[in-house]
Amino acid sequence: MIKDITIGQYVPGDSFIHKLDPRTKIITALLFIIQLFLIKNFFGYIFVVGFLATVVYVAKLSPKYLYNGLKPVFMLIIITALLNIFMIEGDKLIFQWKFIKIYEEGVRTALFMILRLIFLIAGSSLLTLTTSPIELTDGIEKLLNPFKKIGVPAHELAMMMTIALRFIPTLMDETDKIMKAQMARGADFESGNLIKKAKSLIPLLVPLFISSFRRAEELAMAMEARCYRGGSGRTRMKQLSMESRDAVGFGAYFIFAAASIFIKI
């Protein structure tokens, strides 16, 4: 399951989606997240599914990437749904047993939350699966450049966000290696109750933190050895530029978004 986390991973490709300007994909991803919370009926999510399926098909990605990215958060989705079902009250009671009451509003909200979480994770995964870390850095920095006038460190923020995404797969691999090494020494991460499982993670977290700090120090030393000094006066091998395909990408997204938000059935 550790290796199933897809956020932060990049799958090289030569598709239409891969060739889009990173700013187009970042803006579309942000608008997509906002769109998920503006949809007021379940029929709107049909268009969301269609949009994601179209992106996966055009980007020539396997749907398995999205499924693997969702597996680690299945438990979180289930807990969120149960909390909404049992905690939200309304006017129409559909089930009651002793002190347990389930209202139609709670079930409806739970279903909305499940769909929103699934699509939010899938949309975020598609951004990193089709955009390299370098492109993400350049795209975020370009989008934040206008805020430099009010003192926002655009380049530093973009670099930190990209390094964090870049090292998610690395940390997952490191966690998997440490778990296998601990299990070979007799550690048990599966059996026992929740408290016991939490205690069993201590031998895993300590070496993981040490390894993370070591990697951070090595990265800082490597950047200093190459005379890295941030974004001031820094040139780029590849300059970003919006092209006609970016307009096509924006247009296709807005058609899906408008249809999903304003549909009335």
Locate the domains of the chain by residue range: 2-155+235-262
pLDDT tens string 211-227: 888 888 888 888 888 87
On the 0-12 / 13-18 / 19+ scale of CB atoms within 10 A, 11 is middle
d(CA 22, CA 241): 10
Question: How large is the average pLDDT for residues 191-195?
Answer: 68
pLDDT for position 27: 92
Give the pLDDT band (50/70/90) at residue 164.
confident
Closest CA to 256 of 76, 54, 20: 54
pTM here?
0.75
d(CA 59, CA 55): 6
SS3 97: strand
pLDDT for position 31: 92
pLDDT tens string 137-160: 888 888 888 887 887 777 778 778
* Residue-level length of the chain: 265
d(CA 26, CA 71): 24
pLDDT tens string 7-59: 667 888 888 998 899 889 999 999 999 988 888 888 888 888 989 999 999 99
d(CA 247, CA 20): 10
Q: What separation in angstroms does the CA of 64 have from each of 6, 61, 122, 232?
A: 10, 8, 11, 41
Give the pLDDT band (50/70/90) at residue 95.
confident
CB-based contact 125:65 (threshold 8 Å): yes
pLDDT for position 32: 92
Residue 70: pLDDT over 60: yes
